[in-house]
A and B are shown apart, each in its own frame.
Chain A
Amino acid sequence: MSPVVEIEDLKVKLGRREILHGITCRLGVSGTGKAVGLLGPNGAGKSTLILTLLGFLRASAGRARILGFDCAHGMGEARSRIGYMPENDAFIGDMTAVAFVRQMAELSGLPPEAALEKAHQVLFHVGLGEARYRELRTYSLGMKQMAKLAQAIVHGPELVVLDEPTNGLDPAARRRMLKLIAEMKNEQGMNVLVCSHLLRDIEQVCDEAVIMKDGAIVHHCNLEEERRSNRSFVELEVTGDDGGLRAALPEIGAEGVPEGLGRWRIVLPPGVEVDAIWRLAGRQNLLVRKLTHRRDTLEEIFLKAMGHIAHTPGEGAASGVAPNVTAS
């Protein structure tokens, strides 16, 4: 099976400034219905990479392929199999949502009747069913985001490229957007490429994550494997003498990093529930003031990739070296 995105030593210049500095990676597997997250702070080069993959920007060196098609040439065929939701407002103001989405579907190659039917279906799907005959310029920001998503998926693409899909959304709309993205891959079998600077969004919907910084890829991880293989994370805050906690944690197979003032980051191995921490703290005569239990790992990975911490607790456990947290 071919990768969704294949990049070899890709360099992109905007004007005289080089934005992407020789990126090489292979992302996703075509036809598997997985989501890949492009993560990084503002200015990391995420959008530039997406625009290059869509053939909007030319590479100054290297090669990029999307769904097996070269991004510099031969994107005509690929584009009918791709849906794109841009970051900024993008619509035709004096069109109703249904006319706009229908036109976009027809441009992707759907016959007019099928395009109309799909436009109605997809607008109901994204929650704009009741507003589908309103002109797009009268939509709120959240509604415009949903309309952009609708036009990106109306033709049933193999790959959907979403550039900051939750930008400007309130919490409820954000949850809805993420649920729709998850449905796209799980129920419709679409591959999704999500570009975001929000860790939680990527963590929630993606199976694979690429972290970018200063125009380069600094980390590439398989979130699915991370989720499957380990570990849940506990942030613990206790009062009392916690000096013996580090030695006691291996009794339950856990690994912990003290952060001072009774605060700990603990990695629980698979099969160990958070109750074990309560019992352990009880045995150590510690008073638990706060216990946060999470199943994600991306924040640690992201902070490490950005150079804010030296190791993740999981890494320390794997290598057998006591991990140190060096906050910057």
Chain B
Amino acid sequence: MSVYKRGYRRYSGPLTGRWARFLVLPRYAWRRLYQQRLVLLLTILAFIWPLLCAGFIYLTNHAELLQGLDRDFREFIQVDGRFFSIFMYVQAGFAVFLAALAGPGLIAPDLANNALPLYFSRPLTRWTYALARLTVLVGMLSIVTWIPGLILFGLQVGLAGGSWFRANWTLGAGMVAGFLMWLLVLSLVAMASSAYVRWKVVAAAVSLAFFFILSGIAEMIDNVLRVRWGHIIDPAWAVNQVWRALLGVEPIEGPGAAASAWALAAIVLLLVVVIERKLRPVEVVS
């Protein structure tokens, strides 16, 4: 029977579980995100560098193809911590732009259209809503960051053998942990800016400006005060320092990895406070 002939009857069937409900928001958001051509294009572009890196790994593991090359150069092109750190810088850049492009579209329209009371009148708390939105961003950015990174790591293990894995497994773990840390910062920045600004375009600009402005301020502090600790407020610099420690690469001059990790934690906390204050079903003006 056609729907319009059937008439409305109350639903009395079984209900889904908590996790299925939690995943409703990410499912709908991912579907809408990948309907945007720019997001799709940037995601595809983000796979170019991992493909080149895969080619590099294949090359370094086939010594016969490198016979004609200089010995120093052959020693230089190794799959080690430096290789993965370069891979991470490039992918992290793509992640910044993807987060700025996709993040504001997740919360700003809900706030602008007063949709939060509709969500929160259902079995969904503010924290699960925020976590669902975070899942959308972290999930989307994972596709261009740690997932291809892990595939590259797997490719290297496959080509170089078990001995390479036993000697370098920390690279894989460090890469995944480092990327997840960066994705958390990026996602929270995108969410906080869209919760604060409510207008998608401006929120995207704010979320990009956040990194550039903090980087500029850090540079200014270092130059004006003639110190090196100013960079600790620059999240990109701080995460780079942490990555270097995780991948066993020589650190940059300035505050150490532990101090940088604490600085990142403080930024994350600040962003969580902003989101917590803004994601409310009703706004009370005192």
Interface string of B1-26 (1 = CB under 8 A from A): 00110111111111110001100110
- A15's nearest neighbour on chain B, judged by CB, is B286
With a cutoff of 8 Å between Cβ atoms, the chain B residues found around residue A117 in the complex are 3
Does B122 sit within 8 A of A, measured CB to CB? yes
Interface string of A87-114 (1 = CB under 8 A from B): 0111111110001000111111111001
Q: Are B125 and A14 in contact (CB under 8 A)?
A: no
- B129's nearest neighbour on chain A, judged by CB, is A107
Tell me, in angstroms, the Cα distance from A3 to B196 when the chains sit together.
40
Task: Please tell me which one of the listed residues B21, B32, B282 contacts residue A94 in the complex, with CB atoms under 8 A apart.
Answer: B32
Q: Closest CB of chain A to B91's CB: distance in Å?
A: 29
With a cutoff of 8 Å between Cβ atoms, the chain B residues found around residue A29 in the complex are none
Does A54 sit within 8 A of B, measured CB to CB? yes
Q: Are B114 and A80 in contact (CB under 8 A)?
A: no
Q: Are A90 and B125 in contact (CB under 8 A)?
A: no
Q: How many contacting A-B pairs (Cβ < 8 A)?
A: 124
Given the contacts A91-B113, A124-B3, A110 and B286 also touching, CB distance less than 8 Å: no
Does A16 sit within 8 A of B, measured CB to CB? yes
Q: Closest CB of chain B to A53's CB: distance in Å?
A: 10
With a cutoff of 8 Å between Cβ atoms, the chain A residues found around residue B280 in the complex are 56
Q: Are B14 and A111 in contact (CB under 8 A)?
A: yes
- B281's nearest neighbour on chain A, judged by CB, is A56
Of residues 96 through 133 on chain B, the ones whose CB sits less than 8 Å from some CB of chain A are: 109-110, 112-115, 117-125
Given the contacts A86-B118, A92-B115, A106-B16, A125 and B24 also touching, CB distance less than 8 Å: no
Task: Please tell me which one of the listed residues A56, A104, A189 contacts residue B122 in the complex, with CB atoms under 8 A apart.
Answer: A104
Given the contacts A76-B125, A111-B13, A111-B16, A103 and B24 also touching, CB distance less than 8 Å: yes
Does A323 sit within 8 A of B, measured CB to CB? no
- A155's nearest neighbour on chain B, judged by CB, is B11
Given the contacts A57-B282, A121-B7, A189-B10, A93 and B114 also touching, CB distance less than 8 Å: no
Q: Closest CB of chain B to A168's CB: distance in Å?
A: 15
Q: Are B109 and A90 in contact (CB under 8 A)?
A: no
Tell me, in angstroms, the Cα distance from A111 to B17 when the chains sit together.
9
Does A84 sit within 8 A of B, measured CB to CB? yes
Q: Closest CB of chain B to A40's CB: distance in Å?
A: 19
Q: Closest CB of chain A to B190's CB: distance in Å?
A: 18
Q: Are A14 and B16 in contact (CB under 8 A)?
A: no
Q: Closest CB of chain B to A51's CB: distance in Å?
A: 6
Tell me, in angstroms, the Cα distance from A103 to B13 when the chains sit together.
17
Given the contacts A82-B121, A107-B124, A90 and B113 also touching, CB distance less than 8 Å: yes
Tell me, in angstroms, the Cα distance from A84 to B6 when the chains sit together.
24
Q: Are B122 and A80 in contact (CB under 8 A)?
A: yes
Given the contacts A57-B282, A109-B123, A121-B9, A90 and B114 also touching, CB distance less than 8 Å: yes
Q: Are B118 and A114 in contact (CB under 8 A)?
A: no
Q: Are A125 and B7 in contact (CB under 8 A)?
A: yes
Q: Closest CB of chain B to A317's CB: distance in Å?
A: 42
Q: How many residues of A are counted as interface, with CB atoms below 8 angstroms from the partner's CB atoms?
A: 52
Q: Closest CB of chain A to B202's CB: distance in Å?
A: 17
With a cutoff of 8 Å between Cβ atoms, the chain B residues found around residue A54 in the complex are 117, 120-121, 281
Q: Are B122 and A114 in contact (CB under 8 A)?
A: no
Tell me, in angstroms, the Cα distance from A15 to B113 when the chains sit together.
24
Given the contacts A103-B28, A124-B8, A156-B11, A109 and B16 also touching, CB distance less than 8 Å: yes
Tell me, in angstroms, the Cα distance from A156 to B9 when the chains sit together.
8
Of residues 247 through 286 on chain B, the ones whose CB sits less than 8 Å from some CB of chain A are: 280-282, 284-286
- B17's nearest neighbour on chain A, judged by CB, is A109
Tell me, in angstroms, the Cα distance from A295 to B125 when the chains sit together.
45
Tell me, in angstroms, the Cα distance from A88 to B122 when the chains sit together.
17
Q: Closest CB of chain A to B5's CB: distance in Å?
A: 9
Task: Please tell me which one of the listed residues B3, B15, B20, B282 contacts residue A121 in the complex, with CB atoms under 8 A apart.
Answer: B3
Given the contacts A56-B281, A76-B123, A92-B115, A156 and B6 also touching, CB distance less than 8 Å: no
Q: Closest CB of chain A to B111's CB: distance in Å?
A: 11
Given the contacts A57-B282, A124-B4, A108 and B122 also touching, CB distance less than 8 Å: yes
Q: Are B123 and A77 in contact (CB under 8 A)?
A: yes
- A126's nearest neighbour on chain B, judged by CB, is B8
Given the contacts A15-B284, A124-B8, A107 and B24 also touching, CB distance less than 8 Å: yes
Q: Are A110 and B16 in contact (CB under 8 A)?
A: yes
Q: Are A56 and B3 in contact (CB under 8 A)?
A: no
With a cutoff of 8 Å between Cβ atoms, the chain B residues found around residue A80 in the complex are 15, 122-123
With a cutoff of 8 Å between Cβ atoms, the chain A residues found around residue B32 in the complex are 94-95
Q: Closest CB of chain B to A87's CB: distance in Å?
A: 9
- A116's nearest neighbour on chain B, judged by CB, is B3
With a cutoff of 8 Å between Cβ atoms, the chain A residues found around residue B118 in the complex are 84, 86, 90-91, 104, 151
Of residues 51 through 94 on chain A, the ones whose CB sits less than 8 Å from some CB of chain B are: 51, 54, 56-57, 76-77, 79-80, 82-84, 86, 88-94
With a cutoff of 8 Å between Cβ atoms, the chain A residues found around residue B109 in the complex are 92-94
Which residues of B approach A to under 8 Å, CB–CB?
3-4, 6-16, 20-21, 24-25, 28, 32, 109-110, 112-115, 117-125, 280-282, 284-286
Across the A-B interface, give the 8 residue pairs with the lowest CB-CB distance, nearest first.
Answer: A15-B286, A156-B10, A109-B15, A125-B8, A84-B121, A156-B11, A120-B3, A56-B281
Residue contacts A-B, CB under 8 angstroms, 24 given: A14-B284, A15-B284, A17-B286, A54-B120, A54-B121, A57-B282, A57-B284, A80-B122, A84-B118, A90-B118, A91-B113, A91-B115, A91-B118, A92-B110, A103-B24, A105-B11, A107-B122, A108-B122, A117-B3, A121-B9, A124-B3, A129-B3, A156-B9, A188-B9
Which residues of A approach B to under 8 Å, CB–CB?
14-17, 51, 54, 56-57, 76-77, 79-80, 82-84, 86, 88-95, 99, 103-111, 114, 117-118, 120-122, 124-125, 129, 151, 153-156, 161, 188-190
